[in-house]
């Protein structure tokens, strides 16, 4: 068995256990394999083991990997999970199947414009800086009325399909650090508030949880977890 195969099995088992503890069906949790910094060969190896969702965080890197992988492997859903700069929107929209990192109305409007140009509906998630960390991207969840006003503006864009929320939790300082789970709970509660305010959308998705904190995210309702290192191994800094 390869390391990749062992890693994938171990993750699937941990997802199943975390789901069972939360009385959830593990089939309601999508595993996105975060392949940033890893080559197309690693993606194809994971594909051969059944992985169909991949996450990339840089448009340029994705532009080099996605077309050759798609030429050899059908049915992959590509998730853009990293911060999207305005000038990269042009290339990002044709490449990706969904964008997790919509963090401003202006960015949403740019994606809308490009999506309209090429006639492509785009599922999106709204990234929220749920713990209010200075270095993180994302909408501020408070004041709530400002966030809701931004959501209202985004829901008016016809090519964008807002399906839920995404966050990156504070890094745990130690194993018992309650902050990651508190952040996941807060994102779920914000989603519930959105469902009340904008019932015309399903708000089905919570993209939250990474290698170090996905079990806490599943406990709080994650429907999409984004796992890199636990699948592909340590990344060498770019």
Residues 82, 61 contacting (CB under 8 angstroms):
no
- Draw the binding track, 152-171, toward ligand PLP (x: CB under 6 A; -: no contact): ----------------x---
Residue 233 phi, psi (nearest 5): 95, 180
Cα(first)–Cα(last) distance of the chain, in Å? 29
Q: Where would I find the beta strands (DSSP E) of the chain?
A: 30-34, 53-56, 77-80, 98-102, 122-127, 160-166, 205-207, 224-227
Helix, strand, coil share of the chain (percent; to 5)? 45, 15, 35
Binding ligand PLP by CB under 6 A: which of 138, 164, 180, 228? Answer: 228
Q: Based on CB atoms, which residue is closest to ligand PLP, 159 or 221? A: 221
User: In the bound complex, what is the minimum distance in angstroms from residue 178's beta carbon to ligand PLP?
Assistant: 19
User: In the bound complex, what is the minimum distance in angstroms from residue 127's beta carbon to ligand PLP?
Assistant: 9
DSSP 21: H
- Draw the binding track, 13-52, toward ligand PLP (x: CB under 6 A; -: no contact): ---------------------x-x----------------
Residues 167, 190 contacting (CB under 8 angstroms):
no
Residues 195-224 that bind ligand PLP (CB under 6 A): 210-212
- Draw the binding track, 47-86, toward ligand PLP (x: CB under 6 A; -: no contact): ----------x-----------------------xx----
User: What would you report as the CA-atom Rg of the chain, rounded to the nearest whole angstrom?
Assistant: 17
Q: Based on CB atoms, which residue is closest to ligand PLP, 82 or 141? A: 82
- 147: helix, strand or coil: helix
d(CA 18, CA 13): 9
User: In the bound complex, what is the minimum distance in angstroms from residue 100's beta carbon to ligand PLP?
Assistant: 7
Cα dist from 128 to 19, 36, 119, whole Å? 24, 21, 27
- 91: helix, strand or coil: helix
Name the residue whose CB lies closest to ligand PLP. Answer: 228
Q: Is 229 in the site for ligand PLP (CB under 6 A)?
A: yes
User: In the bound complex, what is the minimum distance in angstroms from residue 231's beta carbon to ligand PLP?
Assistant: 8
Q: Is 125 in the site for ligand PLP (CB under 6 A)?
A: no
Residue numbers of the site for ligand PLP (CB under 6 A)?
Answer: 34, 36, 57, 81-82, 168, 210-212, 226-229
């Amino acid at each position: 068995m390869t390391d990749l195969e062992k890693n994938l099995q171990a993750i699937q088992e941990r997802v199943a256990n975390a789901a069972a503890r939360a009385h959830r069906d593990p089939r309601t949790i999508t595993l996105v394999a975060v392949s940033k910094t890893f080559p197309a060969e690693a993606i194809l190896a994971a594909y051969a083991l059944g992985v169909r969702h991949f996450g990339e965080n840089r448009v340029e890197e994705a532009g080099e990997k996605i077309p050759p992988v798609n030429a050899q492997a059908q049915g992959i859903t590509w998730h853009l999970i990293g911060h999207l700069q305005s000038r990269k929107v042009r290339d990002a929209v044709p490449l990706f199947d969904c964008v997790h990192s919509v963090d401003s109305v202006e960015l949403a409007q740019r994606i809308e414009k490009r999506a309209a140009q090429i006639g492509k509906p785009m599922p999106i998630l709204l990234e929220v800086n749920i713990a209010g960390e200075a270095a993180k991207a994302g909408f501020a969840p408070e004041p709530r009325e400002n966030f809701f006003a931004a959501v209202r503006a985004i829901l008016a864009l016809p090519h964008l399909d807002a399906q839920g929320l995404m966050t990156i939790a504070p890094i745990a300082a130690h194993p018992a650090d309650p902050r990651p789970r508190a952040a996941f709970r807060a994102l779920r509660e914000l989603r519930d508030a959105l469902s009340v305010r904008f019932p015309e959308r399903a708000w089905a998705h919570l993209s939250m949880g990474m290698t170090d904190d996905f079990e806490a995210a599943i406990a709080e309702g994650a429907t999409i977890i984004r796992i890199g290192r636990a699948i592909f191994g340590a990344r060498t800094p770019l």
